[in-house]
Amino acid sequence: MSEEAVTQRLRTMGDLWELSVKLMNSGGTKPGSGRPSRGLKIQDSIREVLRFDWDPIGLDSDGAIDEYDTYIAPIYRILVSSRSTEGLIERLQVIERDELGLAPTKVEALRSVAEKLLDLKVTLDD
C-alpha cells in the first residue's frame, strides 16, 4: 500500500471515529421506542444513496449493504460543513480512484449523486 493510501486510510478511520462519537452521543435508540436515533437514520440515508445511486463497483441487489460504510463519515463531514456539490463529487472520485482502484466517474454523472446527498436532512435534531 502506498504512503498516500495509508494516509487516506488513516483519515477515513479518523472520520469514522468522529461519526461514531456523534452517533453514540445522539442516543442510539430512543428509550422505550425501539426506534433508531436521528444519527442512525442519517447514516442509513447516506448508505442508501451510496449503494443505490453511486455504486461504482456494481453491487447486485443482494450485495453487502455495508460495502460503502467506510465512506459515510467523510461524506457526512462535507454535508455538515461546506455542503459543496463540487466537494462531494471530488470526494467520490478520490474514493473511486484511491480506495477502489477504479477510473473516476465523470463529474456530470456524479452531480446527481451529490445533489441527492445534499437533499438529505443531516442535522442530529429531530
Per-residue pLDDT tens over the stretch 95-113: 999 999 999 999 999 999 9
Instruction: Give the largest CA-CA distance in the chain.
Output: 48
What band does 124 get if pLDDT is binned at 50, 70 and 90?
A: confident
What band does 3 get if pLDDT is binned at 50, 70 and 90?
A: confident
What band does 23 get if pLDDT is binned at 50, 70 and 90?
A: low
Say how far apart CA 113 and CA 81 lie, in whole Å: 18
pLDDT (mean) for 5-33:
66
| Predicted structure pTM score | 0.73
Would the pLDDT of 21 be above 90? no
The upper half-sphere exposure of residue 58, i.e. CA atoms within 13 Å in the direction of its Cβ, equals: 2
Per-residue pLDDT tens over the stretch 63-82: 688 899 999 999 999 999 99
Residues with Cβ within 8 Å of residue 96, at least 6 apart in sequence: 56, 102, 103, 104, 105
